[in-house]
């Protein structure tokens, strides 16, 4: 009797441990150092949660703009779509990263998802145009995080891309998944810095979209940085000569 009780207890402990692991946040790459609020004057950040909104183009839940873009933003969703719904197909609830920052904190590194979002029964393409300020002396860094889930019994893939006319785009992607929940990250650079960036999120099948975080950041091109440093060095040398 004692041995049987011990076996049952062990099974319960193992089951609880497995449940604990399943409820933990899977690892997601940390966002860039510039992805912070308030942003600097070269950064724009946005977050979409796809909760109920009278505007079906779904303007972001929050924006943190370090500058005013020359071209307006635009967000489009496929049809059919239902907003502000709980995902009925996933066994997970709220996921956290780095210990979490409290429910409702709309920052990567704290609140990641609330299991409330948009149901796309046929999948489709989400697009986001992020306005910018064209500057050939700079490059654009970008970062986007999509939290989503497929439907059990179906197979869905997410293809994320970024483009802008007349530019060179370098991207890397990362995806982590657990218990039907996925987090896909795309990041990279655009050269030269364009008027706008087009983000595209293409789902091949039925999908529940929970959260999207998007950020862009302007930085000088390496050649520009070198020239600035050389100019500063030249000024220092000139000042030293005058003192002598």
Residue 174 lies in a domain: yes
Q: Per residue in 157-203, pLDDT tens?
A: 999 999 999 999 999 999 887 777 888 999 999 999 999 999 999 99
The whole-number average pLDDT for the span 59-86 is: 86
pTM: 0.75
Residue 12 lies in a domain: no
Residue 211 lies in a domain: yes
Residue 13 lies in a domain: no
Residue 28 lies in a domain: no
Q: Give the DSSP per-residue string, the chain.
A: -HHHHHHHHHHHHHHHHHHHHHHSPPP-PPPPTT--SS--TTEEEEEE-----SSTT---SEEEESS--SS--EEE--SS-EEEEE-TT-S---EESTT---TT--STTSEEE-SEEEEETT-EEEEEEEE---BTTEEEEEEEEEEEEE-TTS---EEEEEE-TT-EEEEEEEEEEETTEEEEEEEEEEESB-SEEEEEEEESS-EEEEEEEEEEEEEE-HHHHHHHHHHHHHHHHHHHHHH-
Residue 193 lies in a domain: yes
Residue 4 lies in a domain: no
Residue 33 lies in a domain: no
Q: Per residue in 8-51, pLDDT tens?
A: 333 323 222 333 333 345 666 678 889 887 889 999 988 888 87
Q: Is the pLDDT of residue 90 over 50?
A: yes
Q: Domain residues for 153?
A: 38-243
- Quote the number of domains for the chain: 1
């Amino acid at each position: 009797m004692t041995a049987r009780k011990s076996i049952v207890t062990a099974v319960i402990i193992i089951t609880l441990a497995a449940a604990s692991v399943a409820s933990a946040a899977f690892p997601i790459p940390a966002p860039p150092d510039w992805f912070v609020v308030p942003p600097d004057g070269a950064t724009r950040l946005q977050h979409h949660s796809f909760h109920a909104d009278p505007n079906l183009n779904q303007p972001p839940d929050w924006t943190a703009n370090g500058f005013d873009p020359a071209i307006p933003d635009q967000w489009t969703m496929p049809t059919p779509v239902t907003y502000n719904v709980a995902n009925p197909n996933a066994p997970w609830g709220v996921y956290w990263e780095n210990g979490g920052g409290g429910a409702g904190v709309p920052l990567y590194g704290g609140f990641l998802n609330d299991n409330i979002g948009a149901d796309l029964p046929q999948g489709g393409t989400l697009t986001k145009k992020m306005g910018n300020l064209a500057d050939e002396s700079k490059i654009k860094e970008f970062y986007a995080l999509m939290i989503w889930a497929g439907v059990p019994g179906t197979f869905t893939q997410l293809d994320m891309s970024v483009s802008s006319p007349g530019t060179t785009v370098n991207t890397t992607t990362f995806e982590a998944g657990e218990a039907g929940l996925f987090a896909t990250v795309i990041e990279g650079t655009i050269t030269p810095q364009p008027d706008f960036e087009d983000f595209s999120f293409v789902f091949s099948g039925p999908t529940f979209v929970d959260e999207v975080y998007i950020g862009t950041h302007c930085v000088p091109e390496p050649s520009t940085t070198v020239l600035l440093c050389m100019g500063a060095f030249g000024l220092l040398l000139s000042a030293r000569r005058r003192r002598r």
